[in-house]
A and B are shown apart, each in its own frame.
Chain A
Amino acid sequence: MYEHLALSDNGFLFDTRSGATYSLSRTGTFLLRELMRGTHPSDLAARLTDAFEVDLPAAARDCEQFLFRVKDLALLDEASDDDDDDPGSPRAAEPFGGVR
C-alpha cells in the first residue's frame, strides 16, 4: 500500500506513481514512516508522545489533522475508502454577498 512512496530521512518524499514531491517536518516524517511500517492510525499519537516532547491530547489532535492531510493529498490508497461524509459546500456563498 506504500510501495509507491520513497521517503528520505530528512523528510523528502517522492511519489513514484504521480511524480509529485513533498517536504515533511521531522514529526511528519516520523508519522509517515510509522504508517509505512504498518502502525495503525489509532496508535500514531501514542508513538508520537513516546518519541517527542508532546502530551497525548495535543498529539492526538495533530495526528488527526496530519492523517486528514495525507489522505487529502491522495498519498495512500486505502483498502476501503470509507464513505466520506459529505463535507457540504465549504466555499458556500457569503452571508452578506461580500459587499463593500
Chain B
Amino acid sequence: MSRQPYDKPTILKHATGLANKFGRGPSRKSLERIDGVKVTELIERFGSPLFVFSEHRLRQKYREAYRAFSLRYPKVQFSWSYKTNYLDAVCRIFHQEGAWAEVVSEIEYEMARRLGIPGEHILFNGPYKPEPALRTAIAEGSKLHLDHYEELYTVERLAREAGRVVPVSIRINMDTGIHPRWDRFGFNLDNGEALDAIRRLHAGGHLVLEGIHSHIGTFVLDPEAYGRAAAKMAELALTVRRETGMVVKYLDVGGGFASRSTLHSQYAPGADGSPPIDDYAEAITSALLGAGFPQNEMPTLMLETGRALIDDAGFMVTRVVGNKRLANGTRALIVDAGVNVLFTSFWYRHDVLPVLDRGGMLEETVIYGPLCMNIDVVRPSVLLPPLEAGDALVIRPVGAYNLTQSMQFIRLRPAAILIGENQEVDVVRRAEVLDDLKGPELLPARLAP
C-alpha cells in the first residue's frame, strides 16, 4: 500500500455550531521569498529573528508618492522622517531619491549630517532642542521649526547674539476634524496663538518667518483632514503676508498618511482600508491651489511622510520555538521575535505568514514572543496551518518604527539586512552582542566579582 502525504492530525471545534461549516473557507497564504530571495536561506545565513528591508519597495514607494504630489503641484519637497527608521542604508536610499532629512533631536541631526545632508536640507522638529543643538542648527542654516514660546525666545536671543536675522518656521496644531487631536506640539491656530507667535517673532526684528509646519497625527485614514489642514495653513500664510509683509516660503504638512497596515480596531485589512497616496495628494494640493496665492508666491509643499513610505518595505523573519495548547483550548505558538522588536504589535494587526505551508487545517492561533512577559503577544489571533519548531514565519508590514523602537529588553537586537534591486543581500546592522548592551556600564571596584 502506498503511503499518503502527511499533515498534522488536528481537530477543531466549531465555534458557532454548523454555521461556519458553510462559510467561505479562509484563503491560505504563505511567503517563501522576499524580493526573490528565499527566506530559509536568509535564516541560514543571518539567523533569526531578522529584520529584512527591500530596497526595491523603498524606492518604488518613494517614487509613487513623489509622483502623486508633483503631478498635482509645482513645488514639492519630501524630507525623510528619521525616527520612522534611521538605518543609514534606509536614509541613504531616500536621500538618493531626493528627500531631505526631518529630525527631532540632536542625535538625529548628527546622523543626517554624517550622511552628508547639508544643514539647509534638514528640518529640525521636536519639543526639545538643547541650546547647543540650536546654535549648530542656526550656524548651519537648518530649517528650525519652533514648538513653543521658550524656544522662540531662545532662538531670538541666539540670533541677536550672532547679530543676524534668522529664518524660522513655526509648528502649529489645529482642529482638522479628526481624533485624537494632537495639540501638544506647536502653537494652536484656532485660538489665535499661532498668529500671536508670528507677530511676536516679527516684532523682535531678529527672526523672519520662513515656513509653517503641522503634523496632525499618524495613521490618519481621512485624506480630507489634510485638505482642511492645508487650507488653514494657507490662510494663515496669506494673513501673515497681509499683516507683516513676510512671504511664507513653504508649508509643511508633516507625515501621518496611513500605510497598508491594519489597526486592531479596524475591520477591513489595511491593504483594502487605507486610502491610496493619490487621495492625500489630491486633498492637499487642491486646497493649496485654491487658496489664492499669487502665482509668484506659491509656497513649496513640504512633506515628512514616514510610515507610508517604509512600512511595506520591512519584514520580520522569525522562527517557531514551540507549540502550546492553552488551558482554554486555544492553540498558541511561541516565536523568537516578540514585542521587543515588534513594538507596533500593540497597535497593528500584522500579517503573519508561514514560509512553507505543509497543509493541514488552519486554526486560530495566538502568537507569543520569546519574552518572559505576559504582554509579549505578536498577534492575539491569526489563522495558521500546523507548524513545527524551527519553521519560519514572515511578519509584515513592519518597516516603520519597529527597528527604531526596538529595545534591548531581555534579549539583544537582531541583525537587519537589505535586499538590493538585483537581489544583493547586505547586512546593514549586525546582530548585537552582549558588549553592545553592557559596554557603557561601570562596576565599582568594591562590587567586582
**Interface residues of A, Cβ cutoff 8 Å to B:** 12-13, 19-28, 30-32, 48, 50-54, 62-63, 65-66, 68-70, 72-73, 87, 90-91, 94-96, 98, 100
* Residue among A25, A50, A87, A91 making CB contact with B10, cutoff 8 Å: A25
Instruction: Give Cα A94 to B6, complex, Å.
Output: 38
**Interface residues of B, Cβ cutoff 8 Å to A:** 1, 3-14, 17-18, 21, 323, 325-327, 329, 360-361, 372-375, 386
**Given contact pairs A20-B14, A23-B14, A25-B360, A90 touches B327 in the complex (Cβ within 8 A):** yes
**Given contact pairs A90-B326, A94-B373, A73 touches B11 in the complex (Cβ within 8 A):** yes
Neighbouring B residues of A19 by C-beta, 8 Å: 17
Beyond the given A27-B360, A28-B361, A72-B329, please list 15 additional residue pairs across the A-B interface where CB-CB is below 8 A. Answer: A22-B11, A23-B21, A23-B361, A25-B9, A25-B10, A27-B9, A53-B5, A53-B6, A62-B8, A66-B11, A68-B325, A69-B11, A87-B327, A94-B372, A94-B373
Q: Is A31 in contact with B9, judged by CB distance below 8 angstroms?
A: yes
**Given contact pairs A96-B373, A100-B375, A21 touches B9 in the complex (Cβ within 8 A):** no
**Given contact pairs A12-B21, A72-B329, A98-B374, A25 touches B13 in the complex (Cβ within 8 A):** no
Neighbouring B residues of A62 by C-beta, 8 Å: 8-9
Q: Is B12 in contact with A22, judged by CB distance below 8 angstroms?
A: yes
Neighbouring A residues of B327 by C-beta, 8 Å: 87, 90-91
Would you mind naming 9 contact pairs between A and B with Cβ atoms under 8 Å apart?
Answer: A21-B17, A23-B11, A24-B9, A24-B12, A52-B4, A62-B9, A65-B323, A66-B11, A73-B13
Instruction: Give Cα A88 to B215, complex, Å.
Output: 52
Q: Is A70 in contact with B11, judged by CB distance below 8 angstroms?
A: yes
User: How many residue pairs between the two chains, A and B, have CB atoms under 8 Å in the bound complex?
Assistant: 97
**Given contact pairs A98-B375, A100-B375, A66 touches B14 in the complex (Cβ within 8 A):** no
Neighbouring A residues of B360 by C-beta, 8 Å: 25, 27
The 10 closest A-B pairs by CB, nearest first: A98-B374, A27-B9, A28-B9, A54-B6, A66-B9, A52-B6, A25-B10, A94-B374, A90-B327, A21-B14
Least Cβ distance of B223 to chain A in Å? 33
Least Cβ distance of A61 to chain B in Å? 10
Instruction: Give Cα A65 to B6, complex, Å.
Output: 16
Neighbouring B residues of A53 by C-beta, 8 Å: 3-6
Least Cβ distance of B10 to chain A in Å? 4
Closest to A69 in B: B11
Instruction: Give Cα A28 to B327, complex, Å.
Output: 21
Closest to A14 in B: B18
Instruction: Give Cα A26 to B4, complex, Å.
Output: 10
Neighbouring B residues of A96 by C-beta, 8 Å: 372-373
Q: Is A51 in contact with B4, judged by CB distance below 8 angstroms?
A: yes
* Residue among B11, B18, B325, B329 making CB contact with A28, cutoff 8 Å: B11
Neighbouring B residues of A87 by C-beta, 8 Å: 327
Instruction: Give Cα A83 to B189, complex, Å.
Output: 71
Least Cβ distance of B202 to chain A in Å? 45
**Given contact pairs A51-B3, A51-B4, A90-B326, A23 touches B12 in the complex (Cβ within 8 A):** yes
Q: Is B325 in contact with A72, judged by CB distance below 8 angstroms?
A: yes
**Given contact pairs A27-B6, A52-B6, A73-B329, A21 touches B375 in the complex (Cβ within 8 A):** no
Closest to B5 in A: A53
Instruction: Give Cα A72 to B13, complex, Å.
Output: 11
Neighbouring B residues of A100 by C-beta, 8 Å: 373, 375
Least Cβ distance of B16 to chain A in Å? 9
Instruction: Give Cα A52 to B386, complex, Å.
Output: 16
* Residue among B5, B13, B329, B373 making CB contact with A98, cutoff 8 Å: B373
Neighbouring B residues of A20 by C-beta, 8 Å: 13-14, 17
Q: Is A50 in contact with B3, judged by CB distance below 8 angstroms?
A: yes
Instruction: Give Cα A54 to B333, complex, Å.
Output: 22
Neighbouring A residues of B4 by C-beta, 8 Å: 26, 51-53
Least Cβ distance of A65 to chain B in Å? 8
